[in-house]
Amino acid sequence: MNFFLDGFEQAWELISSRDPFLMHLLRITLQVVAISTGAALLLGLPIGLALGLGRFRGRGGLVVLANAGLGLPPVVIGLILALLMFPQAPLGRFDLLFTLKGVYIAQTCLALPVVVALTISAVRELAPGLLDQARAFGAGPFAMARLALREARIGVLAATIAAVGSGLSEVGAIVLVGGNIRGYDQTLATAALESVGAGRYAEGMAIGIILLGLIVVISGLLTWLQYGRVRYQRGWSAS
């Protein structure tokens, strides 16, 4: 139990003293999450819409691929990306290995299938006939996409929450690509991993507690966005 108590104590100390090391970890973590989630949404929403609503050959296979992507092992993705980023490898000339940019790319690769797969299932649940009706009333592709995203916003926000969650707690790919460099591209999760690896359990616990708190706060905010404002739907009828 000592580790837990020490962990809480250290966590409180780090927070109350606004420890510069902790502040840096927080900043990097939020930066990685924001950039990778943003990029995954930017790329993933159009792909998810196209796969969820489009009618074209090979769509079924791509949907299976996206769903399989939900279970991508981060370590394998990290390893593949790291190998590709080695100086002599195809991505070598971009100098991405052991940099923050590399970390953003690795995390985006992990978040993208999550966004695509969850967007597909969200837009497939739309009221039947709504999009056909929009088309019949002259809606262009842009207006249709806006309508679909707005109608499926609960599912789209679920995709966002999942992407944010994966970004906050990811270690495998980030460590392999970023090198887990203290004070540079280390995030809360990878810092906790390093502390535990070095036998500093209480410190690991402290960082872990802060990370959990951050996850609760961010997920709470997104959940509020997802459901908090739609309370008027209580008068729902079956017909």
Partner 1 sequence: MSLVALTDVVVRRGRRDVVRGVSMTIDRGETVAVLGPNGAGKSTLLEAVGGVLPIARGSLSVDGRAASVLQTPGLARRSVRANVELALAWWGVPRRQRRARGMEALEQLRAAHLAKRDARSLSGGERRRVHVARGLALRPDLLLLDEPFAGLDPETRAVLCEDTSSALRQEAGGVLVVVHDRAEAWALADRLVVMMDGSIEASGTPGALLAAPQSAQVARFLGYDGELRRGDSSTLTRPAHVLIEPAGDLPATVTRVVPQQDGVRVELELADGVLRAWYPEPGLAPGDRVRVRLVGGVSFPAP
Establish if 58 lies at the interface with partner 1 (CB under 8 A). no
Name the burial class of residue 132, with classes exposed (0-12), middle (13-18) and buried (19+) by CB atoms within 10 angstroms of its CB. exposed
CB of 119 to partner 1, least distance (A): 17
Q: What residues numbered 195-234 form the site for partner 1, per CB under 8 A? A: 232-233
> Which two structure tokens, joined as six digits, stand for 95?
């100098």
Establish if 142 lies at the interface with partner 1 (CB under 8 A). no
Stretch that binds partner 1, among 7-15, 19-27, 102-110, 132-140 (CB under 8 A): 132-140
**How distant, in Å, are the alpha carbons of 40, 74, 95, 169 from that of 111?**
6, 10, 22, 12
Helix (H) and strand (E) counts in the chain: 11, 0
Establish if 53 lies at the interface with partner 1 (CB under 8 A). no
Could you tell me where the DSSP H helices lie in 100-200?
Answer: 100-124, 130-136, 141-151, 153-169, 172-178, 188-197
Establish if 1 lies at the interface with partner 1 (CB under 8 A). no
Residues 6+ apart with CB under 8 A from 122: 48, 52, 152, 154, 155, 156, 158, 159
* Smaller CB separation from partner 1, 18 or 234: 234
Give the distance between the most distant pair of CA atoms in the chain.
67
Establish if 20 lies at the interface with partner 1 (CB under 8 A). no
Establish if 61 lies at the interface with partner 1 (CB under 8 A). no
CB of 155 to partner 1, least distance (A): 12
Residues 6+ apart with CB under 8 A from 163: 36, 37, 40, 41, 111, 114, 115
Establish if 54 lies at the interface with partner 1 (CB under 8 A). no
With CB under 8 A as the rule, give the number of residues binding partner 1: 22
* Smaller CB separation from partner 1, 145 or 193: 145
Interaction mask 29-48, partner 1, x per CB under 8 A = --------------------
Establish if 123 lies at the interface with partner 1 (CB under 8 A). no
CA dihedral 135, 139, 141, 144 (to 10 degrees): -80
Q: Of residues 70, 83, 143, 217, which one binds partner 1 by CB under 8 A?
A: 143
Q: Of residues 20, 61, 87, 129, which one binds partner 1 by CB under 8 A?
A: 129
Positions in the binding site for partner 1 (CB under 8 A) = 127-134, 136-139, 143, 147, 150-151, 232-233, 235-237, 239
